[in-house]
Amino acid sequence: MILDAHAHCGVTLPYEEVNRYWLEGGIDGGVVFSPVEEIYDRYDYSFIDSAYYRGLRQQVHKYLDELQAPHLYRLWFVWNDFALPRSGFVGVKWHRHAYEPHYNYANPACEQFLQHCYSRQLPILLEEELGNTLEFVKRIDQQTTVIIPHMGGLNGGYRNLKRSRLFENLSVYVDTSLAMAEEISDFVRSYGPDRIMFGSDYPFGNPVEEKKKIERLFGGEEREKILGLNAYTLYEAVKSRIPADDR
C-alpha cells in the first residue's frame, strides 16, 4: 500500500482534486488536513480569532469527517480555541510560520488539548519555528508521536534539527514532502527507514513527482516502509485505540 502522508484537503480544496493525482500515481490514499486559510488568517500577524474563522474550522472539519474514501486518515487542524478533535480524526496538524500569528502555548486549554492527544496517542504533525519546535517536542516529552514535515525544511532546517539531536528522539518522525533528496537519504542512513514517511504537500507539491523521488532513492523494504507501511502502521494503531463507543 502506498500512502501520501501529507496532503491538504477541504471545502476550498475538495478531495476529488488530490485523488486525481493519487490515482494517476498509483497512490492508494493518504493523510489529509485542512488548507491553512480555512483555519486562521495567516497573513495577519495580530490575528484575533473570530466567529467567522470558528465557523470555517467547524465547516472544514465536518467536511473531512464526512468524507467517504478508502485508506483515508484525517488530521484535526488545531488553533487557539483548542477545540478537541472529533473521534474520526487520527492525528493533529499544528502549523504556523514565523510571519504568522502565534499559538497561545500558555493557555491552560492548550495543555488540556495535549493531554487529550496523549490519552489517545494522536500523532502531532508539527510545523513551527525552530525554537518553538524544540521547546514543544521537549514539552510533549515522548507522550505521543511528533511528525516533522518537509524533513524540517520549515521548522528551521533539516541540518539545524539534526544538530539539535531532535531526530535521535524515537518519538519523532519525519515526512518527505518537498524535501531535498540528500536530506531524505541522510535521514535513512543516520536513523533507519522506520520513522520516515512519503508525503507530497499537495497542492504545493505534486504527489506523482514526490512519489517518484522516493522510488529513485530507495528500493526493497526501505521503499515499502517509506511509501506507505510506516504511515499505515502509525495511523492504524491510533484507529485501533479509539474507544468502541466513539467509532
Predicted pLDDT at 36: 97
Question: For the chain, what are the domain ranges?
Answer: 3-246
Q: pLDDT digits over 42-81, tens only?
A: 999 999 999 999 999 999 999 999 999 999 999 999 999 9
For 96-246, list the strands marked E by DSSP.
Answer: 124-127, 146-148, 172-175, 196-197
Rounded distance between C-alpha atoms, residue 137 and residue 60, angstroms: 27
| 4 bridge partner residues | 30
CB atoms within 10 A of CB 228: 23
Cβ-contact 147, 173 below 8 angstroms: yes
Confidence of residue 242 (pLDDT cuts 50, 70, 90): confident
Rounded distance between C-alpha atoms, residue 155 and residue 95, angstroms: 10
Residue 188 has pLDDT above 60, yes or no: yes
pTM of the predicted structure, to 2 decimals: 0.96
Burial 36-63 (b: 16+ CB within 10 A, else e): bbbbbbeeeeebeeeeebeebbeebbeb
Q: pLDDT digits over 156-182, tens only?
A: 999 999 999 999 999 999 999 999 999
Predicted pLDDT at 240: 87
Confidence of residue 85 (pLDDT cuts 50, 70, 90): very high
Cβ-contact 151, 184 below 8 angstroms: yes
Spell out the CATH class of 3-246. alpha beta
